[in-house]
Amino acid sequence: MDYEDDLPNLDHWKSVMEFTVEQAALLMAMIDPFDVESLEEAKRLQVSRWKKAHAHSLAIVSAIRQGVISPVVCCAYIEDSNWNGWHTVTMKPSDRTMEISPAHTIIARASLINWVATENVQVTRPRPRQAVPATTKPAPAPITVEAKQEPLALPYHGHKSEGLEFVGEAIRQLWSTYDEDDPSTAPTQAEVVKFLRDKLGAGVNMAEAVNLVLRPAHLRRGGNKGKKVPTSVDQ
């Protein structure tokens, strides 16, 4: 991990759940995409760390090609005489006849974070602040907070199955950003089923079963219905 001084504050990007590959690469190099709109502009203006941003972009595209990152939308930017110029088209990451466009391909924050952690990708971070030495009275003992380790999606006990792989991938891609205190952050049933069927090739029954397994009871449609209390007539 690279530490540098005088880096911009990027806290306003923390709530963004999806980025283009280009935006993600700029952010990984601590370049604000609101200040520099593209990788080419960063290069033209000779913005500090522009080479790192370009390298991150190539690495993300390579990870998409290898199936390590599952894009939300994978696009190419092609020239077509029938369209009188350049336009975007959706493509499969495995299609080698077209080049993935970093400016138009979209990835999820969860996928990006999982890739960075799993592959130990070196990103730019602000230099940690130096502790101020005590003067008249000793400073209180610092509170040590252990870094949160991202657990495996599912514990491994020597057994594998296609269904377990679907469950693990759905946790990583859709449920890793779920906040129990904010039900609106949970993916919908339609989103889970569509992801499993379109991205992973799961059948409709399998996709619905995985969604049911992963979805907390209070987020399921209908909720728990109370049992009917027998009346004197029923008896």
Q: For the chain, which residues score pLDDT lower than 50?
A: 1, 147-154, 156, 223-235
Residue 149: predicted pLDDT? 45
Return the pLDDT at 2: 53
Q: How many residues does the chain have?
A: 235
Among 176, 179, 157, CA closest to 167: 176
> What's the confidence (pLDDT) of residue 210?
87
Report how far residue 65's alpha carbon sits from residue 115's, in angstroms, rounded to the nearest whole number: 13
Close Cβ partners of 124 (under 8 Å, ≥ 6 residues apart): 1, 2, 3, 4, 7, 28, 29, 30, 49, 52
So where are the chain's domains?
A: 2-72+101-126, 162-219
* Burial class of residue 103 in the structure, from the number of CB atoms within 10 Å of its CB (0-12 exposed, 13-18 middle, 19+ buried): middle
> Residue 45: its pLDDT value, please?
94
What is the rounded distance in angstroms from the CA atom of residue 221 to the CA atom of residue 224? 9
pTM (2 d.p.): 0.55
